Structures are given as structure tokens and as C-alpha cells.
Structure 1
Amino acid sequence: MLIVEDDSLILELIEELLASTGRSVLAASNGVEARAQVERHPELAAVVTDLAMPEMDGTKLIEWLARERPDLPVLVVTGTSAQQSGGVLDRYKLLGVIRKPLTDDKIDQLLETLDSLDA
């Protein structure tokens, strides 16, 4: 599992949460780092990404993943609105979109969505 998030507090929260469920978790703070992780780790089961990030944003990362790893499920966790996302949320098949801020209900939704991959 790869978590891509430029906010270090949110990254740490999601990383710890997923690790506590027994998942192997890698982290990246932008799309450039994420791309390198995906290339180094073909065994990745999924990507959880923000959209608004420096260097390479989540939209460009999703577009790259759709070309290079179309088999890799992507879940978006973002504060970016649908209008600000440039339509990426509609153009690509995503596991889902979870809107920030992350509440307990949204964290449960994140875990349930990722659990559905294991079923």
C-alpha cells in the first residue's frame, strides 16, 4: 500500500492507521516520490493519494498510473473539490474519493474501501 500525501500529519495518521491493520505501508509526499515507489515496488496492492501536492500533483500521478499500472487500485483522499480536480475524478476508475477533513466516519470509510480489496 502506498500513501501519497504532502501534509506530514495526515500522512503519518493514515500510515499508522493502515500499519495497525497489518498492512505493509510505503509513503511519499508528492507524485514524483510516489512514481519512484511504484516503479520500485511492483507488488503494491493499492495507492491512496491526495490531489493537491507539490512537484507532481495527484491528478498527474493518477494519469500516469492509468497508463503504467492500470491494474493498481487508487483511492483519493483530498480537500480538493470536484471542480478543482480538473475532471480526473470522472475520467478514471477510482476506488473512491474521501473528502478531507478526515473524521472518524471518513476513516472508517477509508478502511472499509481498502478492506474490500482483500475480499
Structure 2
Amino acid sequence: MTIPLRVLMAEDEWLAAEVLAEGLEDAGFAVLSAPDGQAALELAAAGAVFDLLLTDLRMPRLDGRELIARLRAERPDLPVVVMTGFPPPEGTGALHDGQGPLRLLTKPIEIAPLVAALRAVAGIA
């Protein structure tokens, strides 16, 4: 039996978060959901165990860009998938320092490409 990949998901649109979590769990992932970047950061600080970060960019309290920066300050190689309706014009280079794998997906997101992106950044494509 393989241990499922654990995804920390920061998504402020609760309906989207519900749909994504259900789809990812159906695909074999374990999902820990946070309603925004600050909540995700607090989960990580409290010792939540996760293998990957799945985050929206535009969220209240703490946006995805800052969440990535803060989590990667502790775990520079943390695999990240960003989902956004508003991709930065400069692409993924604006979102990270290049140390860990990162994929950028534009909303609306289908589950199959999301699963593929998560597996790719985790190195199990």
C-alpha cells in the first residue's frame, strides 16, 4: 500500500475548495484545506504534515505569493502548484526563487490536469 501524497491546499473560494478536495481525494491524495494563506501558514506552523502546496494567488489576509515565500523559507524544495484566474504576466518566475518545482495552472481547473501537475512537481508523473 502506498502512502497518499499529502496536499496543503489554500483556496478562499469554499465551493471551489470543496470540489477540488473531493476530486483530489478521489485521485488518491490526502488533502488538508485552508481558507486562505494565513490559515495555511498557521497549519504548517502548528506542525501539519504535507508533501505539496496547492495554492490560489489572490486570497484575503495572506496571498499565495507570500505563502509560497514563507513556506519555502523553511522548506526551499517544497513542491508547489499555483492555481489562479489571474496569472502573473511574467509567469512562474514571479512566484518563486527557482529552488523547488512549481507549476502554474489557470482557473477554471479540471481535476485531471491538476492531478498531473501535482504528481509532476512531486516527481511521480
Q: Shorter-chain TM-score: which interval?
A: 0.7 to 0.9
- Equivalent residue letter for 2:105: I
CA distance in 2, matches of 1:94, 1:115: 11
CA distance in 1, matches of 2:36, 2:87: 19
CA distance in 1, matches of 2:8, 2:81: 10
Which has the larger strand fraction?
2
Unmatched runs of 5 consecutive residues or more in structure 1: none
Aligned counterpart, 2:11:
5
Aligned residues with identical type, % of pairs: 36
Unmatched runs of 5 consecutive residues or more in structure 2: 1-6
Taking the TM superposition and a 5 Å limit, the aligned residue runs for 1:12-51 are 12-41=18-47, 43-51=49-57
Runs (4+) of structure 1 exceeding 3 A deviation are 90-94
Tell me how large the CA RMSD over aligned residues is.
2.3
Equivalent in 103, 110, 113 of residue 114 of structure 2: 110
Aligned counterpart, 2:108:
101
Q: Tell me the matched-pair count.
A: 116
Which has the larger helix fraction?
1
User: TM-score of the superposition, structure 2-length normalised?
Assistant: 0.80
